[in-house]
Chain A
Amino acid sequence: MTEMVEVPLHAVAHSRAGDKGNRSNLSLIPYDPALYPLLAEQVTEERVLDLFRHRGATRCRRYDLPLLRAFNFVVDDVLEGGVNASLNLDGHGKTHSSRLLSLTVRVPRALLGRKETGRMQP
């Protein structure tokens, strides 16, 4: 049986955050495309919303891009009114990507440390 280990998403995936109004979008991209189905199963809309509930987030929607082996999370009402109203130092929520990557996932040990070098076809 495959041994599973619990790791922060940061060990197996990368992310970038953007904003529009009071909404944040977060990409999530596994380094190893083989991890795509595993992340699809474990990184749910509910778990991502939970990461941002303390900020007032009300809704999270996940868009799956299986051809790109990537996800796009759209989190509503997470920017305390948006860049023009927020008291947060990071009114754009650009650092949200790092919070997403602190979420833990269980992955097979064998797939750990395998990184997409950029030479792999999607």
Chain B
Amino acid sequence: MSNTFLVGNGAGFSGDRVDAPIPVVRSLVRRGLPAALFFETLGERTVALAQLERRRDPELGYEPMLERLLEPVLADCFRHRIPILGNFGAANPPAAARLIARLALRLGLPDLRIAVVAGDDVKDSIALDQLPVHEADGSIDTRSARLVAANAYIGAEPLIEALRQGADVVVVGRTSDPALAIAPLAHHFGWRLDDWEKLAVGAACGHLLECGSQVTGGVFWDPGFKDIPDPANIGFPIAEVTAEGGLVITKPEDTGGIVDLRTVKEQLLYELHDPAHYITPDVVLDITGCTLEQVGKDRVAVRGLRGKPAPDTLKVTASFEGSWLGEGEVSVAGPNALARARATADVLLERLRRRGLNVRARVDLIGVASVHDSDDGALWRGYEGPEPPDIRIRLAAEGSDRDAVDQAAREVLALLCCGTAGTGGARWRLTPRILTRSYLVLRERVPTSVTTRTAREIAA
């Protein structure tokens, strides 16, 4: 057994660059060490949107870019025994497996073994109202709101079982992101699932890699301050892990981006709260003793990781049908743009009031203040800087009455004739919202199962 195992990442979210896995797999093959590739494509709300998709069509509800992501790399991974793991099953892992099976047959790989992990979907098996609430956003009346999805963040155990069954592709829905890296490591090295120090290394590996390019230069580059080579071709990350728990973060040689102390620090702290207590289903990670060292070009060693026993509970995230969101935008530019934009904002709010539309609304002046502003526009109202040459006025309105929200958004459209001089470029849209709430459930209440079959068997 080789002492070093490579873990590559092919996607950090649903919507990531679809050509990213190609150089990662090329690098894994060239290096010839035992390796695995994982895809993280399931955000907090993605599974609910996928569930809505599945309701419309029972053969959908998995990651929409799945075929595009896998097609260029599937044959190479199969031939070089590089298992692929992904939460790209989303709300419908069996349908994702059928798609992969059809793809495999088309690529001449009928013996490709595909595992489907089930058990994360607890919508019909667990009564949520009896569980303690972990965190909630918005104000949800869960007695009246319609439940769309409820999924537990399951750990590495069933994924390891899938690899034990010889799976070449492991399809899962909701799982903790680090589990996608912990599983191939624990399987390859035979790490015990109570070896907290080793699992901490696996969790850190997964945490650093699960957002793809974010550890290799993505959401990092800042021209003139933090420059990176070729940001149009950022290489997605590869981790080198040893049996003893050594961890080095790197990337494919022939790509852009950078791996240095700065990129690794930013991603290590990303979405972290208490650094001594990063909870995953498999281990609680403590990075307070962590040190980093640049050990080569685009190579950073991560040391001093500590692990504490896994929690007794798993997080379940439930999604409910929420309200409606209406958005409308128009532009003004040139002389007196700021005064026209401010007046337009006030007129929009006055229109909603006059028509008695029952919505919660805000206006942004994009180019003056928007993403940093509050709902009452404190920043753009107080703005005293130079006149911006070009301003986009955005109205956002929310409410449970679809028609009222639609009418509010259409008020922006009406500005094409009723607005200030030189108003143009109107756009508007209406979208349904999903609200989420997280609960904690005892892990024994979430049994999982694994089914592994060949592409030929699945497609038959």
Q: Is the CB of A74 within 8 A of B262?
A: no
Interface size in chain B (residues, C-beta < 8 A):
61
B275 touches A (CB below 8 Å)? yes
Interface residues of B in 285-307 (CB under 8 A from A): 287-294, 304
Nearest CB of A to B452, in Å: 34
Which chain B residues border A96 with CB–CB below 8 Å? 372
A80 close to B304 (CB less than 8 A): no
Chain A residues with Cβ below 8 Å from B396 are 87-89
Q: Is A59 in contact with chain B by the CB < 8 A criterion?
A: no
Q: Of all chain A residues, which has the CB nearest B214?
A: A16
Closest A residue to B304 by beta carbon equals A67
Q: Which B308-338 residues have C-beta < 8 A from chain A?
A: 322, 325
B271 touches A54 (CB 8 A): no
Known contacts A21-B137, A63-B273, A65-B288; 11 further A-B pairs (Cβ under 8 A) = A14-B262, A18-B272, A21-B438, A27-B269, A67-B290, A84-B138, A84-B436, A85-B137, A85-B139, A89-B394, A118-B262
Q: Give the chain B neighbours of A89 by CB distance below 8 A.
A: 364, 366, 370-371, 394, 396
**Min CB distance, A116 to chain B, in Å?**
6
A65 touches B361 (CB 8 A): no
Complex alpha-carbon distance, A94 and B211, angstroms? 14
- B40 beta carbon closer than 8 Å to chain A: no
Which residues between 7 and 34 of chain A lie within 8 Å of chain B, taking CB atoms? 10, 14-16, 18-23, 25, 27, 29, 31
Contact surface of B with A, Cβ cutoff 8 Å: 44-45, 135-139, 214, 219-220, 222, 225-226, 258, 260-262, 265-275, 287-294, 304, 322, 325, 360-362, 364, 366, 370-375, 378-379, 394, 396-398, 433-436, 438
Known: A18-B272, A65-B287, A67-B290. A85 touches B138 (CB 8 A): yes
Measured CA separation A122–B261 after assembly (Å) = 8
* Residues of chain B contacted by A22 (CB below 8 angstroms): 135, 137
Contact B138 A116 (CB under 8 A): no
B360 contacts A87, C-beta separation under 8 Å? yes
Closest to B274 in A: A63
A98 to B294, CA, bound (A): 26
Main secondary structure of the interface of A (DSSP, over half): loop
Which of B270, B378, B433 meets A84, CB within 8 Å? B433
User: Are B269 and A25 in contact, CB atoms less than 8 angstroms apart?
Assistant: yes
Q: Are B272 and A54 within 8 A (Cβ)?
A: no
Partner of A25, one of B225, B226, B273, B287: B273
Q: With both chains docked as a complex, state the minimum distance between the C-beta of A83 and any C-beta of chain B, in angstroms.
A: 7
Contacts of B225 in A (CB 8 A): 10, 14
Interface residue A120 (Cβ < 8 Å from any Cβ of B):
yes
In the assembled complex, the Cα of A94 lies from the Cα of B360 at a distance in Å of: 23
Interface check A95, CB cutoff 8 A:
yes
Give 30 CB contacts A-B under 8 Å.
Answer: A14-B226, A15-B266, A16-B269, A21-B136, A21-B137, A22-B135, A63-B274, A63-B275, A65-B287, A67-B304, A68-B268, A70-B265, A70-B269, A72-B272, A80-B374, A83-B45, A84-B138, A84-B435, A84-B436, A87-B360, A89-B364, A89-B366, A89-B394, A90-B371, A117-B260, A118-B294, A121-B294, A122-B261, A122-B291, A122-B293
Report yes or no: B273 in contact with A116, Cβ–Cβ below 8 A: no
| Contact residues of A between 104 and 122, Cβ < 8 Å to B | 116-122
Q: Which residues of chain A are near B288, meaning CB under 8 Å?
A: 65, 67
The answer to whether A68 and B291 touch (CB under 8 A), given A21-B135, A29-B262, A87-B362, is yes
Chain A interface residues toward B at CB < 8 A: 10, 14-16, 18-23, 25, 27, 29, 31, 54-56, 63, 65, 67-68, 70, 72, 74, 79-85, 87-90, 94-96, 98-99, 116-122
Provide the bound-state CA to CA distance between A117 and B288, in Å. 23
Kindly name the residue among A18, A94, A120 whose own CB sees the greatest number of chain B CB atoms within 10 A. Answer: A18
CA distance A27 to B290 in the complex (A): 15
Cβ-defined contact, A118 with B258, below 8 A = yes
Chain A residues whose CB sits within 8 angstroms of the CB of B435 once the complex forms: 84-85
Chain B residues lying within 8 Å of A80, measured Cβ to Cβ, are 374-375
User: In whole angstroms, how far apart are the Cα atoms of A67 and B268 in the complex?
Assistant: 13
Select one of B260, B268, B434 contacting A118, CB under 8 A. B260
Residues of A within 8 Å of B398, CB to CB, are: 85, 87
Distance from B424 Cβ to chain A, minimum over Cβ atoms (Å): 20
Given contacts A55-B374, A99-B372, A122-B292, contact A84 B137 (CB under 8 A): yes
Complex CA distance for A16 and B271, rounded to whole angstroms: 9
For the complex, give the distance between the alpha carbons of A65 and B220 in Å. 20
A85 to B374, CA, bound (A): 14
Decide: A16 and B270 in contact? CB cutoff 8 A: yes
Q: A29-B262, A67-B304 are in contact. Are A72 and B378 (CB under 8 A)?
A: no
Q: Which 8 A-B pairs have the closest CB atoms?
A: A118-B260, A82-B137, A85-B138, A18-B271, A27-B269, A90-B371, A87-B396, A16-B266
Contact partners of A88 in chain B: CB under 8 A: 362, 370-371, 373, 375, 396
B361 proximity list for chain A (CB < 8 A): 87
Asked whether, in the complex, the Cβ of B275 is within 8 Å of the Cβ of A74, the reply is: no
Of the candidates A15, A20, A31, A119, the one having the most CB atoms from chain B within 10 angstroms of its own CB is: A20
With a cutoff of 8 Å between Cβ atoms, the chain B residues found around residue A90 in the complex are: 371
In angstroms, Cα B136 to Cα A55, docked, is 18
